[in-house]
């Protein structure tokens, strides 16, 4: 795992209410599955947010570490990339 992803994980694990999944975690393969397999990626960290404060913390931690974040909502919504640029 990259140093930037480790920074995000360390920043979030202190107060994150949801779950943080890394590639070696058992729930990771199912959590990363999306409806369009043509654009399937393997993220370094999946943050399953419990509430809006978790979502804000995840996006903020990714931005501070310079990591590209994608936000996916429930259902069939698209993933949205969050870049500072």
- pLDDT tens per residue, range 13-69: 989 999 999 999 999 888 888 766 666 678 889 999 999 899 999 999 989 988 888
- Provide the β-strand partners of residue 70: 81
Query: What is the number of domains present in the chain?
Result: 1
What is the pLDDT, as a whole number, of residue 53? 92
State the chain's maximal CA–CA distance in angstroms. 35
Q: Is the pLDDT of residue 85 over 50?
A: no
Indicate which CATH number applies to the domain containing 40: 3.30.43.10
Q: Is the pLDDT of residue 83 over 60?
A: no
The domain in which residue 14 lies consists of 3-82
Residue 1, CA distances (Å) to 8, 21, 33, 76 in order: 11, 12, 19, 29
């Amino acid at each position: 795992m990259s140093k930037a992803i480790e920074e995000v994980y360390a920043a979030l694990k202190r107060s994150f209410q949801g779950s943080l999944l890394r590639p070696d975690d058992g729930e990771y393969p199912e959590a990363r599955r999306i409806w369009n397999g043509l654009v399937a990626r393997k993220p370094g960290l999946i943050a399953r947010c419990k509430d809006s404060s978790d979502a804000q913390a995840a996006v903020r931690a990714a931005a501070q570490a310079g990591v590209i974040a994608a936000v996916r909502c429930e259902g069939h919504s698209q993933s949205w990339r969050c870049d500072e640029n």
